[in-house]
Chain A
Amino acid sequence: MFQLETRPVPSATMRLLSPLIAALLMLASGFVLFTLLGQPALKAFYVFFVQPLTTLYGVGEWLLKATPLLLCSLGLLIAYRANVWNIGAEGQLVMGAIAGGGVALAFPDVSASWLMPAMLVAGVAGGMAWAALPALLRTRFHTNEILVSLMLVYVAGLGLRFLVNGPWRDPEGFNFPQSRMFHEAAILPLLHPEMRVTVAGVLALMLVGLIWLFLSKSWLGFRLTVAGQAPAAARYAGFGERRNVWIAMLISGGFAGLAGVAEVAGPLGQLQPSVSPGYGFAAIIVAFVGRLNPLGALLASLLMSLLYLGGETAQMELGLPAAITGLFQGLLLFYLLAADLFIHYRVRRSERAPAAVLKEATR
């Protein structure tokens, strides 16, 4: 007979171990899944998780896909710490891409060095503006930010489709729904000539440090964390809830917007009807698997990026559907949530059935 028992103190070891357990369980499920699909599991594992990283180009792709995941999740982890459920990062990313890309399209003849910073600022502002809507509606009208931020994902996507189908369509693009290619000054420099990853990767890495400082050393970061973990204490200390919602939404929106503009000014080089394969949603998983911690998010974003890359490689090499990536991502989060049980509870094995104990006691 097994019983769940509340731990006197939440286990710090389990808090760190549970993402690892989740990743291992995900791999085990992958083993079963590959076998069911009639693939030799070991070869499939190699193709999925190792082969993508055997070339310099592959490593570049790995870092390239990790960048938007990391950027989005850095913002989201702050929001989730404050118990503000922004799940519309995908839409904020799209708005960042529209705003930043709009600057590039508005100044096609400018090759001055102010153009790129202006694009990045516009991207951040675009993401922030899109996140400001759910913040405004929650603080003014008490609407649920989960539903509003999610609805805005669809609105942003349709807005982008309108732009690339209509006013921003490349006149020389054979009627394809996409903008013209950005000129050189509107493209982020590459880190290495053989890789597609841009300086945005380094920027994201620097922001990891900045967010770590913000959360562990700053008053504002402390405030947000308290508001999330002990709302009653936060109210008692006079930390206004409205301001926390605004700050959490704006920061997470800004980061997602930055990710968006970095995509269009990086690997895409233009605005397309779809600028992200769901990075904004996958970043939710990254934030959780990374334990709402910036360093954890860095590691988790590398794992999730490998899942994207592995899905593509497995499609090309083994003919497996690329959608397997989403399946793995969902499984990872499920396993994490289940493993988290052992942070607060432990399993006790009662040696004898309660009835037997009772009998002995009354003897």
Chain B
Amino acid sequence: MNEGLILALLLSTASAATPLMLAALGELVTERSGVLNLGVEGMMLVGAVAAFATMSQTGSPLLAFGVAMLSGCALSLLFGVLTLHLMTNQVATGLALTLFGVGLAAFVGQPYVGGVVKGVEPLLFGLDPITLLAFVLCGGLWWFLGKSRAGLLLRAVGEKPAVADAIGYPVRRIRYLAVLFGGAMAGLGGAFLSLVNTPMWVEGMTAGRGWIALALVVFATWRPERVLLGAWLFGGMTVLQFHAQALGLAIPSEFLSMLPYLATIAVLVLICRNPRTILLNQPLSLGKTYHPDR
């Protein structure tokens, strides 16, 4: 194999990994605060359509990415109000958010089907700015969650909200911030899909990436540095699928497209096989509603 091909493979793996990495890192922070948001898929889709619509209206990638993050935030705020203030079941609300997001994105995106926008230019070593940002984010979160005081507080809220509350920390506000961060990152991941990966809008174009991102958080045992590994693994799988035909593998394309989904299941089995792995790493209050009874 020549170097050019290897470089091309690496670059396409990077751009396939980036949306997964962004969404998974956002969800990781949300889950570390004890909130399980199953609406990642919906937020990504809305981010994708918002970015595409903004880009075709204004032509400004900066604005497009910004609007995508804001719309992801808006959806996660809705989730936050329902689960943190109205104390709804997090699983059901997250599902509702995904179903709503799928509907909303299809509705908003109807006029943009078939439209084309100019893709985002590479910045450094053939990598686009968002991919670089994803790496920085990964390192930053590793530092934030592991080394910083604010990160420790976030983790405390995720483990024992009642204790954090008793000491006087604003549990609800911290959880809101974590949920909003998750929304912004999912929106950005979605925008990456519709502006960089394939500069166009197709209904349901995330194709389950939001759910794969959720699985990645489990795979990473809630550690940001391991999200990098997982996302690259899945990115590689996606690239393999495009290059398999070129490499002369006579496998029907549908079976190759199944790979990321089957791999997600396989990875979940590997990690969850030993229940202690999950028990030791999962935030203690994950998915549980906290109601400060006064």
Whether chains A and B associate is: yes
Residue tally, chain B, CB below 8 Å to A? 47
Cβ-defined partner of A143 (8 Å) among B87, B99, B103, B268 = B268
The interface residues of chain A lying within 8 Å CB-to-CB of B278 are 142
Q: Are A144 and B268 in contact (CB under 8 A)?
A: yes
Q: Are B254 and A85 in contact (CB under 8 A)?
A: no
- A142-B275 contact in complex given A323-B106, A327-B103, A333-B100, C-beta closer than 8 Å: yes
Give Cα A69–Cα B273 distance, bound, in whole angstroms.
35
Closest to B78 in A: A334
Is A202 at the interface (CB under 8 A from chain B)? no
Give Cα A328–Cα B106 distance, bound, in whole angstroms.
12
Is B262 at the interface (CB under 8 A from chain A)? yes
Q: Please give the distance in Å from A277's CB to the nearest CB on chain B.
A: 11
Give Cα A173–Cα B106 distance, bound, in whole angstroms.
30
Q: Are A159 and B208 in contact (CB under 8 A)?
A: no
The interface residues of chain A lying within 8 Å CB-to-CB of B208 are 150-151, 153-154
Interface residues on A, range: 35 or more
Q: Are B101 and A144 in contact (CB under 8 A)?
A: no
Q: Are A6 and B106 in contact (CB under 8 A)?
A: no
Q: Are B96 and A333 in contact (CB under 8 A)?
A: yes
Is A212 at the interface (CB under 8 A from chain B)? no
One digit per residue, 1 when the CB lies within 8 angstroms of any chain A CB and 0 when it does not, for chain B 39-71 equals: 000000000000000000000000000000000
The interface residues of chain A lying within 8 Å CB-to-CB of B264 are 147, 151
Closest to A163 in B: B254
Is B255 at the interface (CB under 8 A from chain A)? yes
Give Cα A318–Cα B115 distance, bound, in whole angstroms.
23
Closest to B255 in A: A162
Q: Are B96 and A155 in contact (CB under 8 A)?
A: no
Q: Are A324 and B107 in contact (CB under 8 A)?
A: yes
The interface residues of chain A lying within 8 Å CB-to-CB of B268 are 137, 141, 143-144, 147-148
- A341-B87 contact in complex given A87-B95, A142-B278, A143-B268, C-beta closer than 8 Å: yes
Is A337 at the interface (CB under 8 A from chain B)? yes
Q: Are B254 and A158 in contact (CB under 8 A)?
A: yes
Closest to A87 in B: B95
Is B261 at the interface (CB under 8 A from chain A)? yes
- In the complex, chain A residues 143-176 whose Cβ is within 8 Å of any chain B Cβ: 143-144, 146-148, 150-155, 158-159, 161-162, 165-166
Q: Are B100 and A327 in contact (CB under 8 A)?
A: yes
Interface 9-residue window, one of A52-60, A121-129, A237-245, A280-288: A280-288
Closest to A147 in B: B215
Most buried by B among A137, A141, A345: A141
Q: Please give the distance in Å from B154's CB to the nearest CB on chain A.
A: 23
Q: Are B261 and A334 in contact (CB under 8 A)?
A: no
Is A330 at the interface (CB under 8 A from chain B)? yes
Give Cα A330–Cα B100 distance, bound, in whole angstroms.
4
Give Cα A328–Cα B104 distance, bound, in whole angstroms.
9
Is A27 at the interface (CB under 8 A from chain B)? no
- A337-B93 contact in complex given A147-B264, A152-B261, C-beta closer than 8 Å: yes
The interface residues of chain A lying within 8 Å CB-to-CB of B96 are 285, 330, 333-334, 337
* A-B residue pairs in contact (CB < 8 Å), sample of 24: A143-B265, A144-B272, A150-B208, A152-B261, A155-B262, A158-B254, A158-B255, A159-B258, A161-B254, A165-B254, A284-B99, A288-B92, A323-B109, A326-B99, A329-B99, A329-B100, A329-B103, A330-B97, A330-B100, A333-B95, A334-B96, A337-B86, A337-B93, A341-B86
- In addition to A148-B268, A338-B82, 7 A-B residue pairs with Cβ atoms within 8 Å of each other are A150-B211, A284-B95, A288-B92, A326-B99, A326-B102, A337-B96, A341-B88
